C-alpha cells in the first residue's frame, strides 16, 4: 500500500439531488448543527425553535431556520492510528469499526477510511458499502516505519512518528470540504502526534473551514508506551462540536461507536443571517443558549466567514 498523497486524489462527484439541504456557511445563512443533552448527558429530541438563542461574537442573531435533522445525508471519515503504540489495539479497532459502519450507514450516507502512523494511507475511498469498508479495515496494519506524507523534504520523511494532525487536515480538506450534509471525522488514537507538518490548531481550523465535527476516541495501550494525548483530543472535539470519548474498563470501543451513532441521528440544525455583513474570512465565535438551564448545547465554537 502506497502512502496517501492527498493532492493526487480525485474528488468523487457531488450528489446530484439538487433538493438536498446543505449544511454550510454561505453568504446568506449560517447553519449550525448541534446536539442537546440533559444533566445526565442523555440526548434530548424535543427541542423547539423558541427554546434557543444564537449569539455571534456576543451579539444576538435572528433565527430564521430550525429543524431536527435525523435523515440528512451523513459523510464520515474514520481515521485510525496504526503507529507503534497502537499495535495491540488494531484487532479491536477493526472489529468495532466494522460493526459501526454496518449500523450507522443508511441510503445516501458515505464513509472513507484512513490509517495513519509514520504516513497516512487511504484504505477505502468514499463509499456507501459496509462491505468495502470492512475490506478496508482488514488492511489495517502497523505503520511505524520511515515514510512521508508528501513528496519532498518534510519531517516525517526522515523519522518515525504519528502524523495525527496532518491526517485530520487532509481528511477535512481533501475528502470532506466539498461534501454536503452532515460531516464528521471519527478519530481513534492515543492522541500523541510526532512529526506532523500541521499543528493542532491548524487541524481544528481545517475542520471548521470544512464544517466538520470531530469525534475523538482516546484509545491507549497502557501495557506498552501509548497514551498522554487526551487533552489535545478533547480540544479538537469541543471546538468543532463533536465529543471526546475514552476507552476503558467501563466503556468499550463498541459502546462508544454506538453512542456516536445515536448522536448522529439526534441532531438539530439552526440557521441565521449574520448581522455582521463583512465577508473578510475572519473567525466568528458562536454560542447557542437554551431557555432551560438544565440542558446543554453541544455545538462548534465558531466558523470562518466566507470571502467575497
In a domain, 43, yes or no: yes
Strand ranges of the sheet holding 59-61, from the earlier edge strand across to the other edge: 59-61, 52-56, 283-290, 302-304
- The beta-strand segments (E) located in 90-207 are 110-116, 120-127, 182-189
Identify whether residues 58 and 139 lie together within a single domain: no
Same domain, 114 and 251: yes
In a domain, 238, yes or no: yes
Residue 293 lies in a domain: yes
Q: Same domain, yes or no, for 181 and 62?
A: no
Residue of 21 and 245 predicted with greater confidence: 245
CA atoms within 13 A on the CB side of 97: 31
- Check whether residue 196 and residue 296 sit in a common domain: no
Domain co-membership, 274 together with 241: no
* Same domain membership, residue 284 and residue 204: no
- Could you tell me if residue 99 is inside a domain? yes
Residue 15 scores a pLDDT above 70: no
Contact status, residue 204 vs residue 300, Cβ threshold 8 Å = no
Residue 4 lies in a domain: no
How many domains are there within the chain? 2
Q: Output the DSSP codes for 147-176.
A: --SSSSS-GGGSS--B-HHHHHHHIIIIII
For the stretch 173-196, pLDDT in tens is 999 999 988 999 999 999 999 999
- Strand pairing partners for 267? 69
pLDDT of amino acid 158: 38
When pLDDT is cut at 50, 70 and 90, the band that residue 293 belongs to is very high
Residues 109, 146 share a domain: yes
Residue 2, pLDDT above cutoff 80: no
Q: Which is more confidently placed, 308 or 260?
A: 260
22-41 pLDDT, tens digit each: 444 444 789 999 999 999 99
Look at residue 82 and tell me if it is in a domain.
Answer: yes
Q: From edge to edge, which strands make up the β-sheet containing 120-127?
A: 120-127, 110-116, 74-81, 182-189, 213-218, 244-246
Quick one: which H or E segment has residue 269?
strand 267-272
213-218 vs 244-246, strand pairing mode: parallel
Verify that 87 and 116 share a domain, yes or no: yes
Whether residue 120 sits in one domain with residue 190: yes
Do 65 and 81 belong together in one domain? no
Mean pLDDT of the region 158-163: 69
Average of per-residue pLDDT across 251-271: 93
* β partners of residue 64: none
- Residue 90: is its pLDDT beyond 90? yes
Residue 8 maps to a domain: no
163 in a structural domain: yes
Average pLDDT of the residues of the chain: 86
pLDDT of residue 123: 97
Nearest-5° angle of CA 213, CA 215, CA 218? 155
For residue 88, what is the domain's CATH number? 3.40.50.410
Residue 291 CA to chain centroid, in angstroms? 28
| Residue 164 shares a structural domain with residue 300 | no
Cβ neighbours of residue 50 closer than 8 Å, sequence gap 6 or more: 291
Domain that residue 195 falls in: 72-264
Mean pLDDT across 231-239: 97
Same domain (yes/no): 59, 179: no
- C-alpha closest to that of 192 among 218, 212, 169, 173: 218
CA distance 218 to 268: 26
- Rank 21-35, 104-118, 152-166 by mean pLDDT and report only the highest: 104-118
Amino acid at each position: 500500500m502506497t502512502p496517501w498523497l492527498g493532492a493526487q486524489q480525485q474528488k468523487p462527484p457531488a450528489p446530484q439531488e439538487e433538493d438536498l439541504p446543505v449544511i454550510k456557511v454561505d453568504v446568506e445563512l449560517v447553519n449550525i448543527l448541534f446536539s442537546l443533552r440533559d444533566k445526565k448527558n442523555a440526548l434530548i429530541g424535543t427541542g423547539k425553535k423558541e427554546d434557543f438563542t444564537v449569539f455571534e461574537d456576543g451579539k444576538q442573531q435572528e433565527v430564521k431556520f430550525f429543524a431536527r435533522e435525523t435523515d440528512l445525508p451523513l459523510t464520515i471519515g474514520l481515521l485510525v492510528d496504526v503507529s507503534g503504540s497502537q499495535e495491540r489495539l488494531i484487532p479491536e479497532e477493526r472489529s468495532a469499526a466494522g460493526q459501526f459502519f454496518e449500523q450507522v450507514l443508511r441510503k445516501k450516507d458515505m464513509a472513507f477510511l484512513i490509517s495513519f502512523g509514520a504516513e497516512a494511507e487511504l484504505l477505502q475511498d468514499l463509499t456507501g458499502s459496509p462491505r468495502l469498508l470492512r475490506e478496508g479495515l482488514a488492511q489495517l496494519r502497523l505503520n511505524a516505519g520511515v515514510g512521508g506524507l508528501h513528496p519532498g523534504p518534510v519531517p516525517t520523511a526522515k523519522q518515525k512518528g504519528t502524523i495525527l494532525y496532518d491526517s485530520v487536515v487532509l481528511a477535512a480538506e481533501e475528502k470532506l470540504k466539498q461534501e454536503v450534509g452532515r460531516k464528521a471525522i471519527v478519530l481513534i488514537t492515543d492522541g500523541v502526534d510526532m512529526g506532523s507538518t500541521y499543528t493542532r490548531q491548524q487541524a481544528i481550523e481545517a475542520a471548521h473551514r470544512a464544517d466538520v465535527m470531530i469525534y475523538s476516541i482516546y484509545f491507549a495501550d497502557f501495557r506498552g508506551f501509548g497514551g498522554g494525548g487526551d487533552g489535545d483530543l478533547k480540544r479538537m472535539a469541543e471546538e468543532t462540536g463533536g465529543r471526546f470519548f475514552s476507552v476503558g474498563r467501563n466503556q468499550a470501543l463498541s459502546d462508544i461507536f454506538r453512542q456516536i451513532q445515536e448522536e448522529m441521528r439526534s441532531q438539530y440544525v439552526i440557521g441565521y443571517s449574520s448581522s455582521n455583513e463583512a465577508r473578510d474570512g475572519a473567525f466568528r465565535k458562536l454560542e447557542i443558549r437554551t431557555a432551560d438551564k438544565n440542558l446543554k448545547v453541544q455545538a462548534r465554537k465558531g466558523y470562518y466567514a466566507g470571502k467575497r
